[in-house]
Structure 1
Amino acid sequence: MNKKIPQLSIYLIYTGAAAFFFSLVFTVNQVYYIEILELNPFQLVLIGTVLETSCFIFEIPTGIVADIVSRKLSVIIGLVLMGIAFIAEGSIPLFITVIFSQILWGLGYTFTSGADEAWIADELDGRNLDGVYLRGAQVGQFGSLLGILVSVVIGTVRVNIPMIIGGLSFIVLAIFLVVFMKETKFKPASTERNTWKQIGYTFSQGIKFIRGKSILMLMVGMSLLYGLYSEGLDRLWTAHFMQNIGFTKLIELKPVVWIGIINGFAMVLSILVVQYVKKRMNKTGEIKKVWMLIPINILMVMSIVLFGLSGNFSMAISMYLTFYITRIINGPIYRAWMSKNIKSEVRATVLSTYGQIDSFGQIIGGPLIGFIAVKTSISTAIVLSGIILSPIIVIFIYVYGKYQSRETKGTKL
């Protein structure tokens, strides 16, 4: 029976369903933490720090499972672990349960990370992967939007129910893949790889290549700054709306509905913006990308600071959406510029190193921002997040100056 379903269709079903289930959980989980568990800002940020640490620690070992045992098995294990984590989180309203669930779902996520894309690449013999991944992303976007809507509707009854349903759905998806997912072209990698040394080796090799080029050294600082500011803001923006700002009185809606509206509207805007940016990217040279990144990051910093200082809903929502959109725009332009400056033969290693540095920043910056929020206020902590990010502007201006100097002298950066 499973032979009648093309594996590309299975991949698209998996991608759309996973995005839908994630949205079921993530649309309401921050409201659940604040309303039901009554967590303070430090606890909110600590949740993200535990999750990020879990993903960081387990990324390489679980990746080895996908490479030497089975892509299919790795994805199925990951889905089951995430399902159990979300069921536990939504069923037992305790902070310690939430912490445990972050460790478990971080572990589960790393089992799926990369294994799903590697699986479909194997089954399709590497044909038309750009188109396949783009279709998967588009299906995922639709699934996420639908998930936000369903989560809000169910969450108005009880805010934890979407989390439990999302968890159960991940397990059902795993069972579906057991039956319908084929793995006919998988070739195990050598079992001689040392899983625990791989992280250190990747990091050290990345640093070795980075040290030889000034522009790559500057990107180390950028990666660290992007990590340091982000975790605290991502975990505190919902609390800032619910506890400090409130929502407009023109329409009486529950907080879970307002958060769903904000998330949904921001996602629709981001889809439109990313499509526009993609069309412009191919026509934009390297120096132009840096020039674009300067005002984008200025707007990011300003919107974060003004969001923290906002005293009313109108200003807060406009500043949050401004930050959200500029962050979305920044992503592809920054990654394209970064990749352009890294030699092809070392690109994966160096990008992985930058990812590890970003993770370090999140692990360090999250608790710091959370501690500041507890000792002062959430508003102050958010403003501090913007201040932490602000040196990125100086770095981009410096890099732009270096590009101009290079063009004048005809030398390499």
Structure 2
Amino acid sequence: MRPYAVFLAISAVTAFGTACAYTLNLVYQIRTAGLGPLQLVLVGTVLEAVYLLAQLPSGRLADLRGRRPAVLLGVWLTGAGTVLQGVAPTFAAILAGTALWGVGAACFDGAFEAWAADEFGEDRVGAVLTRGAQTGQASTVLGMLAGIGLATQALWLPVVVGGAAWLALAVFLSLAMRELHFRPTPPEQGDLTGLRTARRSPVLLALAGATLFVALGREGYDRLSQNHLLDAAPPAGSAVVWLGALAVAGTLAAIPLTEVLRRRTAGQPLPRLGRLLVWLQAVQVAATAGFALTGQFATAAAAFLLVGVLRSAADPLWTTWLIKQTSPASRATVLSAVGTVGALGEIAGGPPVGWIGQRFSVARALLTCALLAVPAVALLSAAVTRQDADERKVQV
């Protein structure tokens, strides 16, 4: 099968499976498994700790043995871990399933983008990634609707069905995914090349620093935002339905914004892409603070939607910028290294934010998440300044 069709299939099915399983997963963990605020954050911390430990080995696997084996392993493990979480609503089973999911995510992340860069070339990969993001957003809506419908019957059902979608994708990829342009890195050069690339690039270092500060606040936000909405005088009716409706609305809103950003950045120099990211991150920080400070459901819902829309639209721009800073020989390793920085940030930031939510209030914990992400705006601005200077040197 043609790589572009496989790429879109991966984008669609992973988005569908993730949305189906995890849109209301926190409601499942709160209401069926009985997890409290600290336990909710600890589940996320386990995810990030496992992800951290697996990142560099999985990146090395992708650079030395191929992107395809890493992607396949990641899809299998993600599906298995997700199904396990749904079939056993206990804290221990959810932790075990989350650990499998974390290893799978580490194998998949970076390797998938590196495979796309190899197969489509650096000139096309930005547009391809953005198109994949749009495909994923559309599939996310379908996954959310499926998850909402299944959750009205039983909260565990969408988790299991979402995991099964990942497992079905693994079977499909075993037959259809090819790797035509991969060139293995010599074993003695793999890790050193990636580390030297990161260390010698001020832009990459600034992006890694920005990733760290975004991650410090992201874990707590992701684990506690639905809890905050549940506390903010929600409308009458099933929480499953209106939380799902919010998620669907946010994804639908992200699709046209992603298209606008794709057109604005197509063929443009990297500093322009970077400036867009600076603004997107700054508005995300403000929206997160607004979300934390309001107790009105309508205002909280609007801020929640805004954070989700901006994050979804910004993700392909982050990935494109990172890819443009790497060479094929070390691409997966560098992307994994940046992912490791993000995992470290989530591990470091998650438990303290969870403790604040347990000891004081969820609102204060979410405000802390916004404050932790503020330095990322400055670091992104520094990366833009350096990228602009590098571009001018090339022109001279």
TM-score by length of 2: 0.81
Q: Is the 8 A contact 1:69 1:188 kept in 2?
A: no
Matched, 1:205 2:193: no
Q: Which runs of no fewer than 5 residues in structure 2 stay unpaired?
A: none
Any residues of structure 2 matched to 1:225-244 within 5 Å, and which?
Answer: 225-242=213-230, 244=231
Report the residue type matching 1:193 in the other structure: P
Measured at CA, do residues 221 and 106 of structure 1 come closer, stay the same or move farther in structure 2, by a change above 3 Å? closer
Report the residue type matching 1:389 in the other structure: A
SS in 2 for 1:325: helix
Q: Number of matched residues? A: 392
Q: Is the 8 A contact 2:195 2:334 kept in 1?
A: no
Question: Could you list the per-position Cα deviations for residues 101-151 of structure 1 after superposition, in whole angstroms to 9, with x for gaps in the alignment?
Answer: 1111122233333545666777x6869953655554433222221111111
Any residues of structure 2 matched to 1:108-187 within 5 Å, and which?
Answer: 108-116=104-112, 130=125, 133-178=129-174, 180-181=175-176, 183=178, 185=180
Q: Is the 8 A contact 1:209 1:350 kept in 2?
A: no
Report the residue type matching 1:42 in the other structure: L
Q: Distance in 1 between matches of 2:2 and 2:271?
A: 44
Q: Distance in 1 between matches of 2:4 and 2:276?
A: 37
Any residues of structure 2 matched to 1:301-312 within 5 Å, and which?
Answer: 301-312=285-296
Q: Distance in 2 between matches of 1:74 and 1:330?
A: 25
Identity among equivalent pairs (%) = 27
Q: Distance in 2 between matches of 1:287 and 1:69?
A: 34
Aligned to 2:232: 245
Deviation at 1:217, TM superposition (A): 5.8
The counterpart of 1:85, out of the listed 81, 87, 93, is 81
Q: Distance in 2 between matches of 1:175 and 1:401?
A: 45
Matched, 1:13 2:1: no
Any residues of structure 2 matched to 1:64-79 within 5 Å, and which?
Answer: 64-69=60-65, 72-79=68-75
Measured at CA, do residues 205 and 235 of structure 1 come closer, stay the same or move farther in structure 2, by a change above 3 Å? same
Q: Distance in 2 between matches of 1:257 and 1:48?
A: 24
Q: Is the 8 A contact 2:60 2:190 kept in 1?
A: no
Higher relative contact order (CA 8 A, sep 6+): 2
Deviation at 1:232, TM superposition (A): 0.8
Report the residue type matching 1:302 in the other structure: A
Q: Distance in 2 between matches of 1:121 and 1:392?
A: 26
SS in 2 for 1:30: helix
Q: Distance in 2 between matches of 1:72 and 1:16?
A: 17
TM-score by length of 1: 0.78
Q: Distance in 2 between matches of 1:237 and 1:366?
A: 13
Q: Distance in 1 between matches of 2:190 and 2:21?
A: 32
Measured at CA, do residues 397 and 43 of structure 1 come closer, stay the same or move farther in structure 2, by a change above 3 Å? same
Deviation at 1:157, TM superposition (A): 0.5
SS in 1 for 2:154: coil
Q: Which runs of no fewer than 5 residues in structure 1 stay unpaired?
A: none
Q: Distance in 2 between matches of 1:73 and 1:296?
A: 34
Deviation at 1:28, TM superposition (A): 2.1
Aligned to 2:95: 99
Q: Distance in 2 between matches of 1:114 and 1:206?
A: 16
Q: Higher Cα Rg: structure 1 or 2?
A: 1
